[in-house]
Structure 1
Amino acid sequence: MRLIPTLALCATALTAALPAVADDAPGKVVTIITSADAQTQLMGMVLTMQSMKTGASGHMLLCGPGGDIALKDAPESATAAQPPMGMSPQGLMQKIREAGATVEVCAIYLPGKGAEADVLLDGITVAKPPAMAAALMDPDARVLSF
């Protein structure tokens, strides 16, 4: 007989706690890709896309070998299909950008290559260090690094 009031009390407490749990969900995901490894790059893209599907906004920073994903003339490692879904790091990065994420290369990436912004895919820009630092320090952001 006491079980029903206890269950009702637990259900009420759980219902009251749900908004607090929802408030803890990250509103933003900031992903930094520096690895030259295609599987590592792709996993960073997969987790970014999955985070965005939960409602988080996406912001991606591509540095060093990770920046090569953003090139119009990207290396084969960035464009080759990977198992199990046959998606490439660059292909999924473009889908992430089309889904509303900001995709940028590090401020030192292009000067380090001796290149200009015209070598980047459309919609990809160069990060501004103060804005990127603010995105990384945002208390509502989760930072993923690959």
Structure 2
Amino acid sequence: MKKTLVALAIALGSTTAFADKQAVTVVLNAQSPMTQGMAMVLANQMQEQGAQVDILLCDHAGDLALKGAGGEALKPNNVTPAQLLDGAMKKGATASVCALYLPNSGKKPEDLKDGIKPAKPADMAGSMLEPNRKLIGF
């Protein structure tokens, strides 16, 4: 009986820890490859430290969401901001482009990488208002 209670307490503790994952929204609109790269490096690092990361790409940073996005490889690891975004998404980050990106860039939803969609302003605003969510802008 005691072993069962201990196992249950551990299981509940694990569930609580998972539910208490820090939520972070990274808003990226910078055109600079180094700023884009640093935002994506930090997004990946926050994930590795247990955060649930949501990435909102606006203005020129929306180009990172396009299929075949290239860009300048940055030292020291010789990866592009687009590759860093892909890595974050593979580890569970969500990514979206701001609602203004597609209609003002001449791009269409089918131009976006798999898993990236235009953000819905009401939904995005709601998540940004969550009391324990951190918002970080670049």
TM-score, with structure 2 as normaliser: 0.81
Deviations 1:43-93 (A, max 9, x none): 00011111111111010000000101111243x5xx321011111100010
Structure 2 distance, partners of 1:107, 1:84, is 33
Structure 2 distance, partners of 1:84, 1:73, is 22
Structure 1: which amino acid aligns with 2:23?
Answer: K
Decide whether the 8 Å contact of 1:26 with 1:140 is kept in 2. Answer: no
Secondary structure of the residue aligned to 2:128 is: helix
Decide which of 77, 99, 102 is 1:85's aligned counterpart: 77
Report the equivalent of 2:59. 64
Cα distance, 1:26 vs structure 2: 6.6
Cα distance, 1:121 vs structure 2: 1.0
Secondary structure of the residue aligned to 2:47 is: helix
Decide whether the 8 Å contact of 1:26 with 1:141 is kept in 2. Answer: no
Decide whether the 8 Å contact of 1:26 with 1:142 is kept in 2. Answer: no
Report the equivalent of 1:107. 99
Structure 1 distance, partners of 2:37, 2:21, is 21
Decide which of 109, 116, 136 is 1:117's aligned counterpart: 109
Secondary structure of the residue aligned to 1:115 is: coil
Report the equivalent of 2:121. 129
Query: What do you get for the CA RMSD once the two structures are aligned?
Result: 1.6
Cα distance, 1:138 vs structure 2: 1.2
Decide whether the 8 Å contact of 1:73 with 1:119 is kept in 2. Answer: no
Aligned length: 120
Structure 1 distance, partners of 2:21, 2:94, is 16
Cα distance, 1:115 vs structure 2: 2.2
Structure 2: which amino acid aligns with 1:114?
Answer: G
Structure 2 distance, partners of 1:42, 1:115, is 23
Stretches of structure 2 that go unaligned for 5 or more consecutive residues are 1-16
After TM superposition, the structure 1 = structure 2 runs for residues 1-146 of structure 1, keeping only pairs within 5 Å, are: 27-74=22-69, 76=70, 79-146=71-138
Secondary structure of the residue aligned to 1:29 is: strand
Structure 2 distance, partners of 1:87, 1:136, is 29
